[in-house]
Amino acid sequence: EAAVTQSPRNKVAVTGGKVTLSCNQTNNHNNMYWYRQDTGHGLRLIHYSYGAGSTEKGDIPDGYKASRPSQENFSLILELATPSQTSVYFCASGDRDKPHEQYFGPGTRLTVL
């Protein structure tokens, strides 16, 4: 099974601060994804990437940026964090032609005060 790791696992940030969430996968998957999960909303796609150097907007990209500097790494960046961005964030990776086969990381719990 694909190995997807996230760091940090927990983060407390202040409103207006910059937050970077990191994701690493070791199975050479082309696609990577960032989701947030909130009670009442389920999992929602923020940004995704088809490969190194590419980033695409998902369903709720406002307030977030993404960076894919290499095949293995995909970062989610909150330039000016707000309390509404308090959530659990999941990273996933998958094969280019199999969007249904996504392998998830353990999640990062972000609290913005």
Pairing of strands 10-13, 108-112: parallel
Residue with token string 């202040």: 14
Is residue 62 part of the contact set for other proteins (CB under 8 A)?
no
Specify the residue, 73 or 104, whose C-beta has the smaller distance to other proteins.
Answer: 104
Is residue 31 part of the contact set for other proteins (CB under 8 A)?
yes
Specify the residue, 8 or 16, whose C-beta has the smaller distance to other proteins.
Answer: 8
Is residue 61 part of the contact set for other proteins (CB under 8 A)?
no
Is residue 33 part of the contact set for other proteins (CB under 8 A)?
yes
**Which has the closest alpha carbon to 85: 46, 48, 52?**
46
Pairwise CA distance, residues 13 & 109, whole Å: 11
Specify the residue, 85 or 105, whose C-beta has the smaller distance to other proteins.
Answer: 105
Count the helices and strands in the chain (H runs, E runs). Answer: 0, 11
What SS3 class is residue 83? helix
Residues of the shown chain interacting with other proteins in the complex, contacts defined by CB under 8 A:
31, 33, 35, 40-45, 48, 50, 58, 88, 90, 92, 96, 99-107, 109
